[in-house]
Structures are given as C-alpha cells and as structure tokens.
Amino acid sequence: MPPIIEFTAPPLPHYIVSGSSLVPIGGKHPSRFNIGVFDLLVVTKGCLYVGEEGRDYEITEGHAMILRPDSHHYAYEGCREETMHHWLHFQILGEWRVMEEEVYRQNLGNYSSRDNANPLCLPAYSPTSYTVPLPQFTKLAQPQKLVDVMNELIELGHSIHLDSVRLKQQVLFQEVIMQLSAAIGRDGPSPQSACAERAASYLREHFREPFSAKALGESINFHPVYIARCMQKVYGCSPAVYLLRLRIQQAKLLLLQTDLNVELIAEKVGFNQAAYFTACFTKMEGLSPRKYRQRFIWTKE
C-alpha cells in the first residue's frame, strides 16, 4: 500500500505554483531528484507512469499522487495515450514524516505515539497543534471538485502580483489539502478511536458534573474498563485524568477571562471543594490559581 505523508500544523502547507500539462503518446513525466518541494499530480485523462523510491505507480484518470521533495522520482514508461494532468508545487514549513498506511492506522488518534503535546496539557492560550495525513497515492472521492479548485488556482496565477490574490490562493490550497486528507478517512476511525472520542465528547459535555465511570459507560454503551483502555491508547490517560485536565484547562480560561474568585471558579468547573481544586491546579501547573492569575495582571510601577 502507498505511504502516508503526515504533517503537523500549524503552520499549514504553503502553496507555491500550479499548472496543467498535456503529455503526448510516448512522452514522460520528468525524472528529478531532491527538488525541494512537494509535487502534487492529478490526472484528468490518460495515465502517467511514475516511480519513486523503488515503487511504481500508474496515475490514471481520477487519481492523485504526491511526489516528495527529498526523493528520486522517475518515469518508468512513456504515456500510451495522450495524457492530461494538473500539477501543483507546495511546501510544508513545519514537521512532516512518511509512514506506511498500516502503521498510520495502528496509531490513528494515539497521542502517545506522537511528538506533539496533548492539548489539555498546554497553557490556556497556546495554539493547539494537530496532525494531518495525506495519501501519497489515492483514488479521489470527488476528482472533478479537486480539479475545479486547481483550475481556479491556475487562473489566479495570472494576477499573482497582487497580494490579495496570493492570499486567496493560499485559502483555496487549503481546500486541496482537505480533499486529499479526506481520501484517507473514508473507512472511518478505528473502533478504539471511536470509543475514546465518544467518551471525550461525553466528558466535555458533562465536565461540571461528578465523575462516574458507570454513568460514562451507560451513556456511550461501552464497558468502563474498555473505555479506560481506549482512552489510554488514544489520549494517553484514563477518563478521570482526562476530566481533571479538562477542568483545569477550563479553570485557567476563567482565571484569565473573569474576575471570579477561586472558590467560585472551582465550583464552575466541577470541584466540590476549593482546597482540592487548588491542590490539583498547583500540582498540574506548578503554581496556585491565584499566582497563575497574578502572572497576567498588569500593575503600574
């Protein structure tokens, strides 16, 4: 099976340039090595015969392939018929990696297998990073929709000297990324990921209420032990710890956004006792709720 290219955002991938090419019978896609940018190929007619790193692909109508910036790709055969394709160069300025699809699906949704931090462990106003998978080779679910976007990108290229057009191109390119990524998710999440996500949704909706593993299990129709196992795999913690982190995260927002006292904030995020809230907050953040708030209070010297 073709590999998966997974990148961490932000930052989002950056559009560079695109176009379309008609390859005659016997013509070939150019062979290149370490070109420094990703090259997306979308065939609308005919077939391109392209290989990369020892794997050969037939990119037929309705299929897309992403050639990597750090690899050798080559044409292993000339076109047997007149072939039309769109191409698009883009760059990922942040972290990215390549993995086999089987490995990707095994780790789907598993925080413990990633380098990025669990969002519930970040400061209140920190941007939350996330990963986006792109199939290196895929049959498109809606090929014409993707081609329409690429045609619009090409048309906008005539006015590339305008900053507003460059911005619009970047916005349109994110639609290309979304369509490519959606090709991976057609099979849906794994059963463990689905269970963990349902449990997390329940906890987010009921985080102010006393925690009950039994109530959680009855609500989403899974045994509490299985839920705990799934959440440990996907989020790296038990339901109770997930809930505690969520409550502390909500408390940090209230400490920054309101003038409510600590006792009332504790109550609003689901703690019965302010002292226990302060102890949990201090253990997790390294300072008390009051000192956390004071860090962001401006005082005139």
Compute the distance between CA of residue 43 and CA of residue 253 in angstroms, rounded to an integer. 48
| pLDDT tens-digit readout, 9-57 | 989 999 999 999 999 999 999 999 989 999 999 999 999 999 998 899 9
Peptide bond into 11 cis (omega under 30): yes
184 in Cβ contact with 133 (< 8 Å): yes
Q: How many CB atoms lie within 10 A of CB 294?
A: 12
- Per-residue pLDDT for 61 more than 80? yes
Residues of each domain in the chain carrying CATH 2.60.120.280: 3-185
Determine the pLDDT at residue 162: 84
| pLDDT tens-digit readout, 71-122 | 999 999 999 999 999 999 999 999 999 998 878 776 665 554 454 445 566 6
Structure tokens at 127: 């941007």
3-state helix, strand, coil in the chain (%, to 5): 45, 25, 35
Compute the distance between CA of residue 178 and CA of residue 197 in angstroms, rounded to an integer. 21
What is the CATH T-level fold of the domain 3-185, as seen in this structure? Jelly Rolls (2.60.120)
Q: State the DSSP H helix or E strand holding residue 77, giving kind and residue range, or none if neither.
A: none
Please give the DSSP secondary-structure letter assigned to residue 222: S
3-class secondary structure, 234: helix
Sequential DSSP letters for 51-75: EETTEEEEEETTEEEEE-TTSEEEE
Residue of 34 and 188 predicted with greater confidence: 34
- Per-residue pLDDT for 301 more than 70? no
Compute the distance between CA of residue 252 and CA of residue 153 in angstroms, rounded to an integer. 42
Compute the distance between CA of residue 132 and CA of residue 152 in angstroms, rounded to an integer. 24
Residue of 129 and 254 predicted with greater confidence: 254
- Per-residue pLDDT for 151 more than 50? yes
3-class secondary structure, 81: coil
What is the CATH T-level fold of the domain 191-294, as seen in this structure? Arc Repressor Mutant, subunit A (1.10.10)
3-class secondary structure, 27: coil
- Half-sphere exposure for 167 (CA within 13 Å, toward CB): 3
Residues of each domain in the chain carrying CATH 1.10.10.60: 191-294
Phi first, then psi: what are they for 139, rounded to 5°?
Answer: -90, 125
Q: What angle do CA 282, 288, 292 make, to 5 degrees?
A: 115
Compute the distance between CA of residue 12 and CA of residue 58 in angstroms, rounded to an integer. 29
Residue with tokens 């995020």: 269
Determine the pLDDT at residue 115: 47
Determine the pLDDT at residue 299: 55
Determine the pLDDT at residue 164: 87
Determine the pLDDT at residue 296: 81
Q: Which pTM was predicted?
A: 0.68
| pLDDT tens-digit readout, 232-289 | 988 889 999 999 999 999 999 999 889 999 999 999 999 999 999 999 999 999 999 9
Determine the pLDDT at residue 116: 46
Q: Which of 150, 19, 41, 21 is nearest to 82 (CA)?
A: 21
